[in-house]
Structure 1
């Protein structure tokens, strides 16, 4: 869908995505899957952190979370974790997430193959990368982390685990996510666009049918558009700097990411639950390394590690739902 030229095939893919996969009704149907996988993550983090701070490696946990959500949506099974029913099948599917395209030779329809592969790779890596960057930012900015925790305790409390409908009340959490996507967009280059007619962009004459790449990373850090552009300041989105034409982490127009709704729900529920259920600190006094990697998505070069300690809500979650995890 991302690279298909405009035409009947692209319109059909877009329609299927909008109506059958990423519609509001369909996403609501899969809410239970997202909540269940977030509880799996919370349970894994809590195993060694109920009595005090424990070091955890978050990159792999976020990848497992997002991959299992997508696979349960499309196949009804988990393919990462400790309760796998078919380890051989899980191994083959894991190869897909690691880029081994030979697994797809058994799929006869190239269109089905391409569609599922894009859904897996684009729908898992982008959300996992965003979660890792968000946690890294909060670890490097403990005042902002504390502000998000205070909002969570005030709006949700420690008597129940947050739910997706609660996100609308968590304005600062939403600002943290928006600021993370501004500084560290999962896809720094948006999907290719094509000039529908001759035009001029920044003084350059662009002939019709020219392929154009939009550098969202550069736009999001442009000091002409953003005050203190390279600083992590979630408060900027509380002050009205949310112009969609400046913040374009999911793209714009007909080529915008069709899975934006799923990504927003997954990231919001996961990040909010981590803030509600655990206290977080850096592994050392030094700031987390924020060096950016190279790829279609923009990973951290150094996988994120952190210290976490379960908060009181986690004991309640474990006592009520451990048998379901």
Structure 2
């Protein structure tokens, strides 16, 4: 009996070690997958604050909380089952779907840039647009619905990138990792968004209620927030081009098309060798962003042509 008990304890200890190792593997894979999706996360954090701009300060955090809950619902209820079904039954479709999402990111980034220099729209609809509803509850609901729809697109790309990172792991590990990535990224993105949105209120409070030592900091925060929000818009655009271009370039290599991936890699290696390894990654990211701008620019110029053709028909 004692020998059997000791053997059982040894088995339990071995299982505990195996479980601990699996948890470590899952944690490491979740961190890696989250890092891979960093560019989309940056864009998500840069886009979301505009949804609460102009609303009452006391409603900003509740609205961000509801958007965050919608984001969790997008990831866990809609996207997670779809990702697992894709992994189980059609893993070959992951690369084309990633490239499609990458093309969308490139299009969004390029459209933001081209929109600053090229006229767009047909000039109709602005004068005929219906006035904004006066009901604050209706405005909030419309704001939340729009933000959650945008989050669905970005969350789909995040989940696809994370799934591609852990595609070689067992299905149960993929599920655990994707849940961890979903919760980690949602908490991180909307925590940062809440901080950004309330930064000017924090600065105003420090300026009006704080001691003389902290009032300059409060004044700095109040004056800096418009510039920070403008910088976030630029960072989000660059992140979309970098991630989208990188996804398409890598996808082409996976499908057996070496251009322009080999050229980007060679240029990055040359820069890395010349700078003692300091700027190799930066060169690769910059060239991927350029590729994304070219791809997105082409799509942004083609889409209006289809719209005009459909209008004529």
Structure with the larger helix share: 2
Structure with the larger strand share: 1
Is the radius of gyration larger for structure 1 or structure 2?
2
* TM-score for both structures, normalised by structure 2: 0.32
Determine which structure has greater relative contact order: mean sequence separation of CA pairs < 8 Å that are 6+ residues apart, divided by chain length. 2
